[in-house]
Amino acid sequence: MRILEIVPKEDYLLYIKTDDGQTGLFDVKPYLESEAFVPLKDRIEFERIHNGEYYIEWECGADLSADTIEARWKPGAIEDTQQNGRTLEETWGVSKSLFAHPILAVLT
């Protein structure tokens, strides 16, 4: 999996788009107690993200491989909520305003 785009969202979620056209969400919250990820509790640090295409890395040195993301992300999460009638709140516990980003406008 090659990562084309990453957009940090509220509640420590990352919107990710891959080279095969998949989009989805990755929840960083489970990692925040790990020593390398603690700085990401600061929203400014969380938004300082670099796309290495086969990994993502933050300025603080925390990183996630594409393999880790692929194993634990929720591909199609945005589309699934629209197709099955469930709201984003029901599926993810977040509001639709979380996706109020110009790139995501076509998905919401």
Q: What domains does the chain contain, in order, with CATH numbers?
A: 3-104 (3.30.2020.10)
Residue in 74, 78, 69, 75 with CA at minimum distance from that of residue 31? 69
Q: Which residue carries 């393999």 as its tokens?
A: 67
pLDDT at 5 over 70: yes
pTM more than 0.75: no
Residue in 67, 65, 41 with CA at minimum distance from that of residue 51? 65
pLDDT at 79: 52
* Exposure string over 13-44, b if 16+ CB within 10 A, otherwise e: bbbbbbeeeebbbbebeebeeeeebebbeeee
pLDDT at 105: 38
Mean pLDDT across the chain, nearest whole number? 81
Residue in 38, 68, 69, 65 with CA at minimum distance from that of residue 52? 65
Return the structure tokens found at 85: 């009638």
Q: Residues 65-105: pLDDT tens digits?
A: 999 999 999 988 665 444 444 444 554 455 544 444 444 43
* Average pLDDT of the segment spanning 46-58: 97
